[in-house]
Homo-oligomer: A and B are copies of this chain.
Amino acid sequence: MSQNVRLYTNSQYSSPYALSVYATLLEKGVPFELRTVDLAAGEHLSQDYARLSLTSRVPALVVGEFSLSESSAIIEYLEEAYPQPDFASVYPDDLEQKARARQIQAWVRSDLDALREERPTTVIFGARNPAPLSPQGQQAAEKLLTVADLLIDDQGNHLFESWSIADVDLSVMLNRLCANGDPVPGKIKRYVERQASRPCIQQWWALAKNIRSI
């Protein structure tokens, strides 16, 4: 494919869902251009952005004449439009492991609201939130750590035989706690550190930090 690919993210680079699409593009080896949308200035509500995103949300992807929003739909589209062997896969080949990866992705997008609110991704690349978690936030953190303990082995390896996009989504969710200094068991810390050192994630937070330092 030689069509131009553009990824739209929020201009603070704080969207974990934009990061997930960014990581997918990098890991697959799909060349793309990155564009920002200033949510604070209401740019996502413009007619142009509404037309391409349909839902006025970030992230959105444009490939030639086609455009799409919702990170999980974008990742599935990229996986099908840029298949093996010319491009790397971001999902496990095994049907049940692929299902588990999608389950994790859907879960971190739709549950644990209090944790996402009290530990925004800015604690990862910006400033810690010194406020203790509310009872709801604490409950969400405990649920996250309980599920992560079942999914992650003692060495803190990738979730499946090789890296998958679910490692990005789960590790970023866990890093809301790690980066903020909230208590996290050792094997989960090891898992998060390993994932955070992966170039696709490092480069993204570098962009986020760069914006803050301007």
Which residues of A pack against B, CB within 8 Å?
54-57, 66, 68-74, 76-77, 80-81, 95-96, 98-100, 102-103, 105-107, 109-111, 143, 147, 150
Query: Which residues from B are CB-within-8-Å of A111?
Result: 55, 57
Closest 3 A/B residue pairs (Cβ): A73-B102, A70-B106, A77-B99
- Selected contact of A102 from candidates B72, B98, B107, B109, CB within 8 Å: B72
- Selected contact of A103 from candidates B70, B80, B106, B150, CB within 8 Å: B70
C-alpha gap A103/B17 in the complex (Å):
13
CB distance from A61 to the nearest CB of B (A): 9
Can you list 8 A-B contacts (CB < 8 A)?
A55-B103, A55-B143, A68-B103, A70-B110, A73-B102, A73-B103, A77-B96, A106-B109
Query: Which residues from B are CB-within-8-Å of A77?
Result: 95-96, 98-99, 102
Query: Which residues from B are CB-within-8-Å of A107?
Result: 55, 57, 69-70
- A55-B111, A81-B95, A111-B55 given; A70·B147 CB < 8 A: no
C-alpha gap A111/B73 in the complex (Å):
14
Query: Which residues from B are CB-within-8-Å of A55?
Result: 103, 107, 111, 143, 147
- Selected contact of A106 from candidates B73, B95, B147, B150, CB within 8 Å: B73
Query: Which residues from B are CB-within-8-Å of A68?
Result: 99-100, 103
